[in-house]
Amino acid sequence: MNGTARTIERLSPDVSSRIAAGEVIERPVSAAKELLENALDAGASNIRILLEQGGKTSLVIEDDGCGIPMRELPLAVERYATSKIRTLDDLERVRSLGYRGEALSSIASVSLFEMRSRAAGAPSGGVIRCKGGLLESHSEIPAPPGTRIQVDDLFFNLPARRKFLKSPTAELKKIIQVVQDYALVYPAVRFRLSNDGKNLIDIGDAKSTDEVLASLWGDEHRSVSATEREGGIEARMWWNNLPGSRRVNVTTFVNGRRVQDPTVRSALNSTGASIYGEWIVMLLLPPEDVDVNIHPAKAEIRFRRTGPIFELVRRGARSLLLMSGGFLPQGAAQDGTPNSERASGSGIANATTAPNAEDPWENFVPVPERFKGHGELNPAKHQTPSPAIGVERSIFPDAKQGQERKYLGQAQGGYLVFDDPRGLCLVDAHAAHERILYEQIEDSFAGGGVNAQKMLFEQELPAGVIAAAALHREDLLRMGFSFRLPDDDGNESGDAVLLTVPSLRGQARLSPIEMLRSAVKGIEEEEDPSKRDREVWWRWARMACRDAIKLGDSVGEEEALELFGRLEGCRSPFSCPHGRPTTIFLASEKLKSWFER
């Protein structure tokens, strides 16, 4: 501005309404969320969502809820008109998902809007049509009980907002996530969603959240659940420690409302443990103990007292971690950082320091210095190709021909002990097997593709995977997956099944659905198509690592020698994919000097 004073004037209704709409409706998923919440508040048991171009072109939501009387339809699209609250006391104790009286008005002001509804017990229904917030028609029509809202050409009168929308696929993913999330907290409601005429979701109509989770995550999901109660607050929690995951996804509901809240995430992080995977946290507390009126889109809330919420979620998270066999540090610092991470390091980590005359075992370097720090499964490093650092094909290259390596057995909790012409060698069987499996999977992707193998028995796809399989079908086909989906020509049964999977070396006991789900996560998280293959096989490698031989498992002589031989054939045999040593060497010359031979 040039500093010239300007008179203060009231904004015209069309400008102010669009400003207000921009606070509530940011993209198609915002409109879908508001309309879903209205349907749930209306007591709907069936909700159907019909999309075109991910909601950018058209969004229709139909429900069988209580409906709206014909005479009230024009009032429903007026700003600050609502049936949810009446007084300030009601605002202090909001129990419904909607209450601000802004959603329908905001949506109607930035779209071509039509609403048909018939109230319970009414002989007929009504319809209204709006364009850019202006009511164009209102009439009586025959209609089924419930409400049908159609939103076309979203942001047609806000080109600046419209141009910032993402691709139809990206917008569709957001809506799918919202629908799946609400299906968890309202399991008895049936949710159906289609896009461009293709059915993608049909979930709900279930007895419990656990039943919905089984349909979304599949029968093979390894989730654990816990419920904590104290002081009138209840926290129901689920954790699915997804194999290969390197992210923490937290879905939080407070009194049935889908929100974002830092208190819950802080409580999870405070455990000091690895919490990678998917978390679902449902909090129930007295309405007067939570302020829902701090965000136009109702996406944020404020607790009257955060301390009890923090402690309850933290306690539940620790229970889930213990149930799933997760590591909980015994001496975690107050900030949640394990003491083990604060320490200067173990004896092995310090083995490269100056010799310690009092403890000669500290003098030996378990991993040669030039090989240290190559942890390919470190999330910060995994995008870099596996190092080709010229490692010798034999760990003991100077061994004389005719002299054989001998397996002596296991010691100190399961480490393999070998007698070699050059000295003694200790092998961590788990770390060695991880390295072998990792490089086998990496080799399967060499050349930019993998071969597909037909399933012996077709496997039904979980509901939570069907939509993703349809969205990423081309990428998944290139990776070796193929499906029969409900809308495919010739699919008379209408079932969604997995037909082929990648043929991988080193996949250990990975299940087909686990591989598929992990591939979808990799595709969705890596925006650069040229890097997606690496992202996917990196995830599969992490999953395969969990099935490696466990330290302490009994290993026979033949198996031990085979493991050592395969380790020698690896490109980076001295460390596992996480960067931990696989081998420690005790050279015969050093042994002789110790014993003064």
Q: What is the pLDDT of residue 221?
A: 66
Confidence of residue 187 (pLDDT cuts 50, 70, 90): very high
Q: Using a pLDDT cut of 70, give the percent of the chain over it.
A: 73
Confidence of residue 71 (pLDDT cuts 50, 70, 90): very high
Q: Domain boundaries in the chain?
A: 13-206, 222-332, 451-503+509-545
- DSSP letter (8 states) at residue 549: P
Q: Using a pLDDT cut of 90, give the percent of the chain over it.
A: 26
How far is 101 from 355, CA to CA, in rounded Å?
74
Pick the CATH number of 451-503+509-545 from 3.40.50.150, 3.40.1190.20, 3.20.20.60, 3.30.1370.100: 3.30.1370.100
Q: Does residue 407 register a pLDDT over 80? A: yes
Crossing angle (nearest 10°) for helices 168-185 and 463-471:
180
> H-helix or E-strand containing 266?
helix 262-269
Q: What is the pLDDT of residue 136?
A: 93
Give Cβ neighbours of residue 488 (< 8 Å, ≥ 6 apart).
none
CA 463 to chain centre: 15
- Closest listed residue to residue 477, CA positions, set 485, 489, 469: 469
Q: What is the pLDDT of residue 46?
A: 97
510-521 pLDDT per residue, tens? 678 878 888 888
Q: What is the pLDDT of residue 535?
A: 75
Q: Does residue 435 register a pLDDT over 50? A: yes
Q: What is the pLDDT of residue 453?
A: 81
Q: What is the pLDDT of residue 220?
A: 64
- Are 13-206 and 451-503+509-545 the same fold in CATH? no
Phi, psi of 552 (to 5 degrees): 105, -15
- Closest listed residue to residue 190, CA positions, set 205, 180, 212, 207: 205
Q: Does residue 473 register a pLDDT over 80? A: yes
What is the mean pLDDT of the segment spanning 164-186? 91
548-591 pLDDT per residue, tens? 788 888 888 889 988 988 888 888 888 888 778 888 888 888 88
Crossing angle (nearest 10°) for helices 306-323 and 262-269:
40
Q: What is the pLDDT of residue 142?
A: 92
How far is 533 from 519, CA to CA, in rounded Å?
9
What is the mean pLDDT of the segment spanning 281-306? 78
Give Cβ neighbours of residue 38 (< 8 Å, ≥ 6 apart).
97, 98, 103, 104, 147
Confidence of residue 597 (pLDDT cuts 50, 70, 90): confident
Provide the pairing of β-strand 248-254 with 277-284: parallel
Q: What is the pLDDT of residue 508?
A: 53
3-state SS, 551-565, equals CCCCCCHHHHHHHHH
Q: Does residue 368 register a pLDDT over 80? A: no
Token duo for residue 66:
């209580």
How far is 561 from 231, CA to CA, in rounded Å?
59
Q: What is the pTM of this model?
A: 0.69
How far is 463 from 283, CA to CA, in rounded Å?
25
Q: Does residue 437 register a pLDDT over 50? A: yes
193-202 pLDDT per residue, tens? 999 988 899 9
Of the chain, the end-to-end C-alpha distance in Å amounts to 89
Specify the residue for token string 């400003």. 19
Phi, psi of 311 (to 5 degrees): -65, -40
Cβ(317)–Cβ(271) under 8 Å?
Answer: yes
Q: What is the pLDDT of residue 259?
A: 86
Q: Does residue 386 register a pLDDT over 70? A: no
Q: What is the pLDDT of residue 10?
A: 62
CA 205 to chain centre: 24
Specify the residue for token string 């850019």. 132
Provide the pairing of β-strand 190-195 with 46-52: parallel
SS3 of 246, please?
A: coil
Most confident of 232-246, 262-276, 440-454: 262-276
Confidence of residue 84 (pLDDT cuts 50, 70, 90): low
- Closest listed residue to residue 147, CA positions, set 297, 56, 36, 298: 36
Cα→Cα distances 498→90, 205, 476, 484, 510, Å: 50, 24, 11, 7, 15
Mean pLDDT taken over the chain? 78
Q: Where are the beta strands (DSSP E) in 494-573?
A: 497-502
What is the mean pLDDT of the segment spanning 204-223? 82
How far is 514 from 507, CA to CA, in rounded Å?
11
Q: What is the pLDDT of residue 463?
A: 79
Cβ(107)–Cβ(16) under 8 Å?
Answer: no
Give Cβ neighbours of residue 392 (< 8 Å, ≥ 6 apart).
none
How far is 370 from 437, CA to CA, in rounded Å?
23
Q: Where are the beta strands (DSSP E) in 4-157?
A: 46-52, 58-63, 112-118, 125-131, 134-141, 146-152
Confidence of residue 544 (pLDDT cuts 50, 70, 90): low
- The domain defined by 222-332 folds into Ribosomal Protein S5; domain 2 (3.30.230)
371-385 pLDDT per residue, tens? 444 466 654 444 443
Tally of CB atoms within 10 A around 210: 13
Beta bridge partners of 126: 117, 140
3-state SS, 364-431, equals CCCCCHHHCCCCCCCCCCCCCCCCCCCCCCCCCCCCCCCCCCEEEEEECCCEEEEEECCEEEEECHHH
Q: What is the pLDDT of residue 344?
A: 30
- The domain defined by 13-206 folds into Heat Shock Protein 90 (3.30.565)
Token duo for residue 16:
């102010």
301-355 pLDDT per residue, tens? 788 888 999 999 999 999 988 887 655 554 443 334 333 333 333 222 222 333 3
